[in-house]
Amino acid sequence: MLTEIHEPVEVAALFRKTGLRPVWFLWKGRKYPIEKITYRWKEKTGDHWVYSFSVFDGANTFELIYDSKLLEWKLGRVTG
């Protein structure tokens, strides 16, 4: 079942030459380790890029969104 969330979340991420890689995130006081990044894409919003990741924690799929201008992470939706 898909649930739209769109809430700010705290994310631990690696910024490497090969790209941005979220490692875990905190949502509603719980830490979710990211087992696999299943898909990544980007979208231009105004003069900057917004990066999106589909991530899997072993049980659910989450969509994490990173705004490169606001330096903010959001949890877009959850499918479980």
Q: How far is the CB of 59 from another protein (least distance, A)?
A: 9
Segments of 1-80 assigned E as strands: 2-8, 10-16, 19-27, 30-33, 36-45, 48-56, 61-67, 72-79
**Separation between Cα atoms, residue 19 and residue 26, nearest integer Å:** 21
- Number of residues in the chain: 80
Q: How far is the CB of 56 from another protein (least distance, A)?
A: 6
Asked whether position 79 contacts another protein by CB under 8 A, the answer is yes
Residues 29-68 that bind another protein (CB under 8 A): 36, 38-39, 41-43, 45-47, 52, 54, 56, 60-61
Closest CB to another protein among residues 1, 30: 1
